[in-house]
């Protein structure tokens, strides 16, 4: 059966926030294989863009703080403008509704949803074990404020920061939790936040989206006292199906921890088994609660095509790799006939806890994207709608309730093609095209797709043709207006990317 990828992968970040280091396309980023195919990653295009603008600012202001710029700076004004939108704080917004439902599933965790999106490269990559040559570090994938500062690409960027705040009693950070008394030392926490990545343009990809990160730690003494009891309570048949007749989540787990997905040397087999069992049960409970609400919403919508009741949700675990967990898995659930990827998760690398001055604790973590899940639960077909202020969208939702979105009249779309020869002597990266079109056309652009690619047999020059589909979500747009935008896109491609139009 074909797997439908729903949520976000790590860079995976893409990534990353416990997301997929294999970066599934459905998760807001390229696969790691595809990223490597783009190598070598050159900075020539970014440099050309800076030179073409001619007025590169010496500083950037992000949420009231000024940062010096340098040759790494590549965050455009349209992206900076998104940093203050705070969709997660708009109580009737689908993303905020989903965030609060998940928060309620973890009442003993500290809840964070107001952490600044500006982080250091150390926080985003080095603290989590990302290699220096990891594709996610490239300027073609990440929005840099300057070489040492960027807009976070995943919520995992806050793991070490929040763990260390708990162990070192850093009240300035601890008090940012909405319920700081629930886990006063951040031994368990959730982080919901906006994250930023340069990416393709279509109905399910947007350069700003939201993730949920979860971290849960235990003292080694606590694990020793309960591990044997937990192991005895877990009853499995020969097929690997957990015997939990009262649970709506039926866990199908045939994975084998081995050399490809190993237990860390810092953990005993008993400790790892405890963490894995505890993590998987927590994930099961969350998924059942949310998807049960989704089924109920679809049935109450009156939609004749709504599925019947789904009382149980088979769950399976697929071996995965993330720089900051081992062993690691991707969780998939059978929902309305399709296996859907829900999140990435695993046992936290002990090095992170050691850096946070918590060597006596061990833990697990998970991460996933809110947009993909919200699109499924609320029936939203275009990711741009989450950023719309159109009352026909915003007025359909209310706090604490999952209901099916009723689409309003779609305005006509208009497709325009642009063909060009690639610049000689420099590396072309598709994300440069995507970023340029987004910056020029904003949310008027619905999709950008490569429709032709060839190399001239005599000159060896490469050619590309992209189809840009324009479609406003809330108004009719004239062909004259689209022509004006398209002409500006073509002009900027020449000036900023050095291509030759055909």
Q: Is the pLDDT of residue 51 over 70?
A: no
Q: Is the pLDDT of residue 35 over 60?
A: no
Q: Is the pLDDT of residue 313 over 90?
A: no
**pLDDT confidence band for 305 (50 / 70 / 90):** very low
Give pLDDT, residue 393.
Answer: 92
Give pLDDT, residue 339.
Answer: 87
Tell me which long-range contacts 291-296 makes (C-beta under 8 A, separation of at least 24).
Answer: 291/333, 291/335, 292/248, 293/101, 293/377, 293/402, 294/376, 294/377, 294/402, 296/402
**pLDDT confidence band for 308 (50 / 70 / 90):** low
**How far from 172 is each of 11, 100, 311, 318, 353, CA to CA, in Å?**
29, 23, 44, 39, 20
Residue ranges of domains in the chain: 6-39+70-217, 221-368, 414-501
Contact predicate 10/23, CB 8 Å: yes
Tell me if the domain spanning 6-39+70-217 has CATH number 3.30.930.10.
Answer: yes
Give pLDDT, residue 336.
Answer: 76
Q: Is the model more confident about 411 or about 92? A: 92
CA-CA distance, 96 to 371, in Å (whole number)?
11
CA-CA distance, 51 to 274, in Å (whole number)?
55
Ranges 52-61, 157-166, 261-270, 434-443: which has the least confidence: 52-61
Q: Is the model more confident about 401 or about 146? A: 146
SS3 152: coil
**Tokens of residue 49, six digits:** 């863009």
Give pLDDT, residue 301.
Answer: 59
Mean pLDDT computed over 381-391: 92
Q: Is the pLDDT of residue 47 over 80?
A: no
Tell me if the domain spanning 414-501 has CATH number 2.60.120.200.
Answer: no
Q: Is the model more confident about 449 or about 309? A: 449
Give pLDDT, residue 376.
Answer: 86
SS3 462: strand
Residue with tokens 């965790």: 109
Q: Please write the tens of the pLDDT for every residue from 345-377.
A: 999 999 999 999 999 999 999 999 999 899 988
Give pLDDT, residue 37.
Answer: 34
Give pLDDT, residue 174.
Answer: 96
Give pLDDT, residue 48.
Answer: 44
Concatenated DSSP letters of 43-62: SHHHHHHHHHH----SEEEE
The strand pair at 338-348 and 3-5 is best described as parallel
Concatenated DSSP letters of 153-181: SSGGGGHHHHHHHHHTT-HHHHTTSTTTT
The strand pair at 500-501 and 445-455 is best described as unpaired
**pLDDT confidence band for 64 (50 / 70 / 90):** very high
The strand pair at 144-146 and 149-151 is best described as antiparallel
**Tokens of residue 305, six digits:** 């095509």
Q: Is the pLDDT of residue 54 over 70?
A: no
Contact predicate 415/469, CB 8 Å: yes
Instruction: List all residues 6 or more positions away from 460 whose beta carbon is below 8 Å from its beta carbon.
Output: none
Q: Is the pLDDT of residue 439 over 70?
A: yes
User: What is the DSSP secondary structure assignment for residue 2, as one 8-state letter?
Assistant: P
Give pLDDT, residue 340.
Answer: 85
Mean pLDDT computed over 273-289: 90
Give pLDDT, residue 190.
Answer: 98
Instruction: List all residues 6 or more positions away from 83 whose beta carbon is below 8 Å from its beta carbon.
Output: 62, 63, 117, 151, 194
Q: Is the pLDDT of residue 215 over 70?
A: yes
Give pLDDT, residue 315.
Answer: 86
**How far from 486 is each of 17, 78, 333, CA to CA, in Å?**
35, 18, 42
Q: Is the pLDDT of residue 484 over 90?
A: yes
Mean pLDDT computed over 170-180: 95
**How far from 463 is each of 282, 294, 460, 493, CA to CA, in Å?**
50, 46, 10, 14
- Name the residue among 482, 259, 208, 256 with its Cα closest to residue 369: 208
Residue with tokens 């989540």: 249
Ranges 13-17, 73-77, 181-185: which has the least confidence: 13-17
Q: Is the pLDDT of residue 21 over 80?
A: no
Q: Is the model more confident about 242 or about 500? A: 500
Mean pLDDT computed over 385-413: 88
Give pLDDT, residue 496.
Answer: 92
Give the Cα-Cα-Cα angle 239, 261, 191 (nearest 5 degrees). Answer: 100
Same topology between domain 6-39+70-217 and domain 414-501: no
Provide φ and ψ at 385, rounded to 5°.
Answer: -60, -30
CA-CA distance, 77 to 81, in Å (whole number)?
6
CA-CA distance, 281 to 262, in Å (whole number)?
20
Q: Is the pLDDT of residue 109 over 70?
A: yes
Give pLDDT, residue 342.
Answer: 87
**pLDDT confidence band for 188 (50 / 70 / 90):** very high
CA-CA distance, 253 to 427, in Å (whole number)?
44
Provide φ and ψ at 80, rounded to 5°.
Answer: -60, -35
Other beta carbons within 10 Å of 33: 10
Mean model confidence pLDDT for the chain: 83
Give pLDDT, residue 413.
Answer: 87
Partnered with residue 13 across adjacent β-strands are: 10
Q: Is the pLDDT of residue 228 over 90?
A: no
Other beta carbons within 10 Å of 36: 12
Question: Within a 13 Å sphere around the CA of 222, how many CA atoms are in the beta-carbon half?
Answer: 10
Instruction: List all residues 6 or more positions away from 343 whose beta carbon is below 8 Å from its beta carbon.
Output: 7, 18, 19, 283, 330, 331, 366, 367, 368
SS3 79: helix
Q: Is the model more confident about 409 or about 462? A: 462
Q: Is the pLDDT of residue 432 over 50?
A: yes
**How far from 65 is each of 20, 74, 196, CA to CA, in Å?**
31, 17, 18
**Tokens of residue 1, six digits:** 């059966």
Mean pLDDT computed over 382-408: 91
Give pLDDT, residue 126.
Answer: 97
**pLDDT confidence band for 389 (50 / 70 / 90):** confident
Instruction: List all residues 6 or more positions away from 306 whose beta carbon is below 8 Å from its beta carbon.
Output: 298, 299, 404
Contact predicate 497/423, CB 8 Å: yes
Q: Is the pLDDT of residue 127 over 90?
A: yes
Give pLDDT, residue 83.
Answer: 96
Give pLDDT, residue 25.
Answer: 29
Give the Cα-Cα-Cα angle 323, 324, 329 (nearest 5 degrees). Answer: 85
Mean pLDDT computed over 134-141: 94
Give pLDDT, residue 410.
Answer: 72
In this prediction, what percent of the chain has a pLDDT beyond 90?
61
């Amino acid at each position: 059966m074909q797997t439908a990828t729903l949520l976000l992968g790590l860079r995976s970040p893409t990534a990353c926030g416990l997301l997929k280091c294999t970066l599934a396309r459905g998760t807001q980023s390229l696969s790691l294989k595809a990223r490597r195919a783009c190598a070598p990653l050159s900075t020539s295009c970014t440099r050309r863009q800076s030179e073409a603008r001619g007025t590169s600012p010496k500083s950037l202001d992000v949420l009231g703080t000024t940062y010096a710029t340098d040759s790494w700076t590549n965050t455009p004004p349209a992206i900076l403008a998104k940093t203050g939108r705070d969709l997660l704080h708009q109580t009737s917004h689908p993303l905020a509704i989903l965030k609060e439902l998940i928060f309620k599933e973890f009442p003993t965790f500290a809840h964070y949803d107001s952490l600044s999106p500006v982080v250091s490269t150390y926080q985003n990559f080095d603290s989590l074990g990302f290699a220096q040559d990891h594709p996610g570090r490239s300027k073609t994938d990440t929005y840099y404020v300057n070489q040492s500062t960027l807009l976070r690409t995943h919520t995992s960027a806050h793991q070490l920061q929040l763990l260390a705040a708990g162990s070192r009693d850093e009240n300035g950070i601890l008090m940012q939790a909405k319920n700081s008394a629930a886990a006063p030392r951040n031994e368990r926490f959730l982080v919901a936040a906006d994250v930023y990545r340069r990416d393709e343009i279509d109905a399910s990809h947007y350069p700003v989206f939201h993730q949920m990160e979860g971290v849960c730690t235990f003292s080694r003494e606590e694990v020793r006292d309960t591990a044997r009891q937990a192991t005895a309570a877990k009853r499995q048949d020969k097929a690997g199906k957990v015997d939990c007749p009262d649970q709506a989540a039926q866990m199908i787990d045939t994975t084998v921890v081995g050399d490809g997905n190993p237990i860390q040397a810092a953990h005993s087999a008993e400790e790892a088994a405890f963490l894995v069992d505890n993590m998987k049960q927590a994930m099961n409970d969350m998924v059942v609660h949310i998807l049960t609400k989704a089924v109920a919403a679809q049935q109450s919508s009156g939609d004749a095509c709504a599925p019947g009741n789904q009382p149980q949700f088979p769950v399976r675990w697929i071996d995965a790799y993330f720089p900051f967990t081992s062993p690691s898995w991707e969780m998939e659930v059978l929902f309305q006939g399709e296996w859907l990827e829900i999140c990435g998760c695993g046992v936290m690398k002990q090095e992170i806890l050691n850096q946070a001055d918590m060597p006596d604790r061990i833990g697990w973590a998970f991460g996933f994207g809110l947009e993909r899940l919200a699109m499924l639960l609320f029936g939203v077909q275009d990711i741009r709608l989450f950023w719309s202020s159109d009352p026909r969208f915003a007025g359909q939702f209310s706090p604490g309730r999952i209901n099916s979105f009723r689409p309003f009249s779609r305005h006509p779309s208009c497709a325009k093609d642009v063909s060009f020869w690639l610049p000689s002597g420099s590396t072309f990266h598709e994300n440069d095209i995507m970023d340029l079109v987004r910056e020029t056309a904003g949310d008027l652009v619905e999709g950008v797709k490569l429709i032709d690619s060839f190399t001239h047999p005599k000159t060896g020059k490469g050619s590309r043709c992209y189809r840009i589909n324009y479609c406003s979500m809330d108004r009719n747009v004239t062909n004259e207006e689209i022509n004006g935008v398209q002409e500006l896109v073509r002009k900027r491609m020449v000036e900023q990317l050095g291509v030759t139009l055909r």
